[in-house]
Structure formats: structure tokens, C-alpha cells
A = this chain, B = another copy of it.
């Protein structure tokens, strides 16, 4: 099982978002849509052992967490508009702290990064994507390290990165900093590289 947490610093939390303007009015929702595709899709199939948690912090409603669950996901295609449409539907139902399923495999609740960190802390290995982190290739060298990596919870920022308060919470939760190479990439590209490292380590077992 792998979980990806992506922080959408400006992603809107309510109202009817326009699928024709995911980058603008929806607060760079396109970044989050690309992360959903990178996390869940392979050629001719879906990664059923992956959850994607999108943290929407852009208002006007309280912060929300939209979860895409690979195991039960239906009606999702790899294009941005497809995941955008499911996020749109999730934002239209009244949300509270209890998860509700808005469409098959998509869940919504109010909450932010601290909620997720409390749930995962001390139960699953936490990894924080950061340019100065250790290279992912070093995280899958031994069998034990690879087993841990393959059960990882991976936390990424969006195009604005991760702000100080979130970063402090991530560090307090004991996350290991990792990086994906010498060039700073889009969040969705980082997810592809993490999953490839995991796939390779599974093959080498």
C-alpha cells in the first residue's frame, strides 16, 4: 500500500469549479489532477494499492481532504478534466470531519495535513519530497528499506511548495526527506519517479 498526500495551497474548497479553468479560478487544481493521474494510472490499468489524498487549502470553505482510492475507483480517466470532474462533485456535497463517498472511490471530508499526519504517524513510514532530501535510489537498496518504501506515505507540495507551518508539522511527524534526482520537477513527475523506484524494487525481490 502506498499513500500520496499532495498539498494544494490555493486549491478551492467549495463552489462549482469550472472544468474549463482548473489552473485559474480553481486555484491550480490542474496540479492536483495531474498528481491523481500519476499516482493511479499505468498503461491499461490502475494501481489498486494506492490512495491519493488531496489537501485543498484555497477556501472559501474550510480546508478539505479529497481522497482517491485506487482499490474502489470507478469512472476515472487519465485526463485532467476527468479527475477535475470528480473533485468538482466531491466539493458539492456538505463536508464534515467524517469521510463521505461522493462518487465510487472518491471521498471527501474537512481537514488538513495535521489530520492525515496524526492518522499515519507511527503506523506507516513517512517520506517528504524535498530537493535536499536523500535520493530515492538509496531508499530501495536493501530489502528491508524497500519493504518500508513500498508501504510509504509520500508528502508533496504543489507548484508553491510547502509552507513553513506544514513543513514543521511534517518534520515533527518524523518524515524522512527524499528527492528524485538533480532537477526540481513537477509534483506529478516526482510521483512517477517514486512509483518507478518502488516497481523496480518489487521486481528485484
- 12 new A-B contacts at CB < 8 Å, known A19-B20, A78-B186: A34-B79, A41-B186, A41-B189, A42-B184, A42-B186, A44-B184, A81-B81, A181-B203, A182-B199, A182-B202, A183-B199, A192-B193
| Chain B: minimal CB distance from A176 (Å) | 20
> In the assembly, what is the distance between CA of A199 and CA of B81, in Å?
30
> In the assembly, what is the distance between CA of A30 and CA of B183, in Å?
25
Residues of chain A touching chain B, judged by Cβ–Cβ distance below 8 Å, are 19-20, 22-23, 30-31, 34, 37-38, 41-44, 77-82, 159, 180-186, 189, 192-193, 196, 199-200, 202-203
Residue of A20, A23, A78 most packed against chain B (CB within 10 A)? A78
Given contacts A20-B20, A30-B79, A81-B80, contact A196 B181 (CB under 8 A): yes
> In the assembly, what is the distance between CA of A182 and CA of B122, in Å?
31
Top 3 A-B pairs ranked by shortest CB distance? A30-B79, A43-B184, A182-B203
> In the assembly, what is the distance between CA of A203 and CA of B30, in Å?
30
Closest to A45 in B: B184
| Chain B: minimal CB distance from A155 (Å) | 16
Chain B residue numbers with a CB within 8 Å of A23 are 77, 79, 81-82
> In the assembly, what is the distance between CA of A30 and CA of B80, in Å?
9
Given contacts A20-B20, A180-B196, contact A185 B43 (CB under 8 A): yes
> In the assembly, what is the distance between CA of A166 and CA of B80, in Å?
29
Chain B residue numbers with a CB within 8 Å of A182 are 199-200, 202-203
